[in-house]
Structure 1
Amino acid sequence: MRKQGKILIIGIILFAGVMRTPIGMVSPLLSSIQHSLGVPAGLLGSITTIPLLCFAFFSPFVPQLGRKYGNELVMFLAVLILAVGNYFRVFSTAWLLGGTMLIGLSIAVLNVLMPVTIAQKYPQRVGVMTSLYTFSMTLFSALASGQSVVMAQRFGWQKAMQSISLLALIGMVFWLPALKGMHRAKAGKKGGSSVWKARGAWYLSLFMGLQSLLFYTTLTWVPSILVAHGLSQGEASQLFGLMQLASLVPSYVVPILAYRFKRVRGIILTMTVSFLAGIGLLMVPTASFGLTVVIVIVLGAASNIAFSLTMALFSLKTSTPEQTGDISGMAQAVGYVLAAIGPVSFGYLQHITGSWTLPLSILLVVIIVLTFFGLAVDQRETIFDD
């Protein structure tokens, strides 16, 4: 591999590293942020919701930006905006909200264009590079979530959060080789069918959406459920970190397996069984630490099997990088609408029923529907097949 290609791989790793950390790092620091900036309690939830809404409403427009100005340049500028928004959001409540919006728009660009860029730059190694990308994103997020409180205690929460901007700027340096070989769409009428009219594209978009709903719902509420079962907040926090670490292996292995075998029925059924087991066991009101370790490991693995498979399917079920960009934009628009409403609806159901049983039972139904859409996608060579 040429030297420029090796440098760009580091850029991909570092860009992937800032695709979850600006959001995941916030949750453990919410009390410090509220105390320091005087953020009203009602606005705290928006710090997580704003990026999801940005993903949902901005993602469909990202492929056009990439085609017009070049995917690599658009991603480079997105990371610059992310670095600026993240750096300044620690100074006031207004900057916190504005900076979070800039971060959300920037990550929307990266979410859509990273699979496209990998397909363009590494057409013979898409599976391996997708694995590296999803693994890096998961690893950096887990490390940031787990170490954010320690960093805040040592350096202050502001510097802890601003460290993500430094990571982004370093990533931009290693991304420079990509700007020398930018991909832009050729002038003329775009060929092919509209992705929004393809039944297979809707199946994949709903698969993306339901797995996002499951991921963000469990990410939001599992610690509270564990505390309700009798575990201490410290134990729940440790197990929450374990749940994220459990997702590392699937994040690397799943895309490679998907590209090797092409048909992913086995991966989908493994995901289904893992989700059903994890959610089903979570419904058991036990304070057993050993059983809870099993639950969070299974749930963490299931969530990342679903996510990593979705990222692989964007390229696996399309014929050109342009199609990959279109389905990536569509699926993430649909997906993050569901992701935004999932945790809120789950919490509301728990509030009105006073129990976790009904919300968790609904998630079991969601898992079955998720499986149906996954198998429907797997039956098609591409998402444009009838």
Structure 2
Amino acid sequence: MTDSRRSTTTSALALCTLFLMAFAMRGPVTSVGPAADVVLRDFGLSYQAFGVLNALPVLAFGFFSFPAVTLSERIGMHKTIAAALGLLLLGTLCRVTESMVLLFAGTVFVGAGIAFLNVLVPVLLKAQAPDKAARAMGLYTVVVGLSGTIGTWTSAPLAHLADSHIAVMAVWLAFIVPALCLWPRVKTDDAAKAAAADKGGMVRLIKTGAAWAVILTMGMQSLTVYTTCAWLPTALTERGFTTSAAGLAVAFFLFCSLPGSLWLDAIIRRLGSLKRTAVLMTVMFLAGIACWQAGGWWVWSGCFLAGIPQGGMFTFALIVMAMKSHGPVQMAQISAVSQGVGYLAAGLGPWIFSVLYTYSGFFAASLSLVAAVLVWGIAALSASGPARVFR
């Protein structure tokens, strides 16, 4: 085999394995909400405890994003990603038990594993396709979104077919185990190791306006999607939807995010401005929330209107991150900073929603989403200012 063919085969294996990982990066989290009735019954959880359960993985995304780059310095990027997959496997196995302690512990393990992948997978994608970073990020967000869609779509049917939460949690082993088996054959460089060696790099990044634009955009996008996935099914069932229909509605919302991820680059070119694109995305999401409030068949229109910008803005944050960073070293740093701070803020969303939902009902809870999306729009607008790079 020639060197060029060997290089092509290696890159193809790396990309396939990375996208296989991406299939396990949202579904284990988004699948819990649609199966709320079964999870609440099996573990005897209150609404507040269920809100904490849904907040845990997002908070873990934030807490464990910061040490991802440092750990890569200590053991290398390849071993760090292997450890992330190991945490995903361990967490999934804990959650298929009937122990409440292991349920919560396993959820933290799953969140920690995904946090490492959140930070490092975009860096590896940029390294594998440096000339097509925007397209690679778009495809990556599509796969991540598809993972969330599969989770919400299959969750309620699996839970009721098996009459247990175990099937909902165990199905993700079909992606985690093959990725863990293939990963040892993938070669990576030590870009993250070099990033970690620059110990003051992340501190300097936090002081830049460009970094905070990405942080706010990433955080508010995450707050809205995880709060919606966790609580929209419960809100819809109490408004007359069956659990399967409610899960399907959230799956449709996430499915609509896929074209948003793919079309974002074309939308930016058509509108000729990042600022106009951000305004359009924010207005569409607000219209979607209004349709959810209206209930009935308007819910499906709301899922479409909110889903398109939900996918688009995640790609927006990743593209800005890739465009404004000086190569993979700085991208690893801004990825850790933006996702760490952003997800810590986003993790409060499901818990805040649970409190508002318990005492005020769906309308008051949805106001928190309105506030979040307005901040999200402001963050997007700030990111679309002068094309500064991280200094």
Q: Tell me the TM-score range normalised by the shorter chain.
A: 0.7 to 0.9
Q: Does structure 2 retain, via aligned residues, the 8 Å contact 1:227–1:236?
A: yes
- Look up the SS of the partner of 2:131 in the other structure: coil
Summarize the Cα distance change of 1:280–1:379 in structure 2 as closer, same or farther, 3 Å threshold: same
Mark the runs of 5 or more structure 2 residues left unpaired by the alignment: 1-6
Q: CA deviation at 1:246?
A: 1.3
Aligned to 1:344: 351
1:251 equivalent in alignment to 2:261: yes
Q: Secondary structure of 1:380's partner?
A: coil
- The SS at the match of 1:283 is helix
In 1, are the aligned partners of 2:278 and 2:380 still within 8 Å (CA)?
yes
- Partner residue of 1:207? 217
Choose 182-191 or 72-81, whichever is displaced more. Answer: 182-191
Q: Secondary structure of 2:172's match?
A: helix
User: Following the alignment from structure 2 to structure 1, what is the Cα–Cα distance between the partners of residues 178 and 355?
Assistant: 41
Rounded Cα–Cα distance in structure 1 between residues aligned with 2:104 and 2:249 = 30
CA change 1:32–1:214 in 2 (3 A) is closer
Cα offset for 1:145?
Answer: 2.3
Inter-partner Cα distance in structure 2 for 1:293 and 1:280: 12
Q: Aligned partners of 2:71, 2:120: CA distance in 1, in Å?
A: 10
The answer for the alignment partner of 2:194 in structure 1 is 185
Deviation at residue 311 of structure 1 after TM alignment: 2.2
CA shift in 2, pair 1:329/1:263, >3 Å:
farther
Query: 1:84 is matched by which residue type in structure 2?
Result: L
CA contact (8 A) 2:254 2:307 kept: yes
Deviations 1:337-386 (A, max 9, x none): 2222223323433444x35444444543443332222122122323536x
CA distance in 2, matches of 1:65, 1:376: 31
Query: Post-superposition shift, 1:308?
Result: 2.1
Distance in 2 (alpha carbons) for counterparts of 1:262 and 1:171: 39
Query: Which among 52, 55, 63 is matched to residue 61 of structure 2?
Result: 55
**1:66 lines up with 2:72 in the alignment:** yes
1:5 deviates by 1.0
- State whether structure 2 residue 251 is matched by structure 1 residue 241: yes
Cα separation, partners in 2 of 1:26 and 1:6, compared to 1, 3 Å = same
C-alpha displacement of 1:69: 2.8
- Structure 1 pair 300–343 and aligned structure 2 pair: CA distance change class (3 A): same
TM-score relative to the length of structure 2: 0.85
1:169 to 177, 183, 194: 177
User: Which SS does the other structure have where 1:194 is aligned?
Assistant: helix
CA contact (8 A) 2:30 2:226 kept: no
Q: Does 1:141 align with 2:151?
A: no
Tell me the TM-score normalised to structure 1 length: 0.86
CA shift at 1:169, angstroms? 1.7
Q: After the TM superposition, which residues 101-180 of structure 1 pair with which residues of structure 2 at under 5 Å, given as runs?
A: 101-152=108-159, 153=161, 157-179=165-187
1:39 and 1:93 in contact (8 A); partners too: no
Give 3-state SS (helix, strand or coil) of 1:179's partner: coil
1:268 corresponds in structure 2 to 278
1:93 and 2:103 are equivalent in the alignment: no
Instruction: Compute the displacement of 1:89 (Å).
Output: 2.5
Check the 8 A contact 1:272/1:368 in 2, yes or no: yes
Is the partner of 1:270 in helix, strand or coil? helix
Residue 310, structure 1, aligned to residue 329, structure 2: no
Query: SS of 1:240's equivalent?
Result: helix
1:205 CA displacement: 0.9
- 1:122 maps to amino acid: A
Aligned pair 1:196/2:230, yes or no? no
| Residue of structure 1 in register with 2:4 after alignment | none
Q: Which amino acid aligns with 1:317?
A: K
Letter in 1 for 2:347: A
- Contact 1:130-1:255 at 8 Å conserved across structures: no
Contact 2:237 2:243 in 1 (8 A): yes
Match of 1:207, SS state, is helix
Indicate the larger mover: 322-331 or 88-97. 88-97
Q: 1:130 to 1:259 in 2, by over 3 A?
A: farther
Identical positions, percent: 26
Distance in 1 (alpha carbons) for counterparts of 2:195 and 2:342: 29
Deviations 1:194-238 (A, max 9, x none): 112112212221222222222223223333444455545554333
How far 1:73 sits from its partner (Å)?
Answer: 2.4
Q: Where in structure 2 are the equivalents of 1:2-13 lying within 5 Å?
A: 2-13=8-19
In the other structure, the counterpart of 2:3 is: none
Identify the range of structure 1 (251-260 vs 263-272) with the bigger mean alpha-carbon deviation: 251-260
Q: Which amino acid aligns with 1:88?
A: C
- In the alignment, residue 219 of structure 1 is paired with which amino acid? C
Gaps of 5+ in 1: none
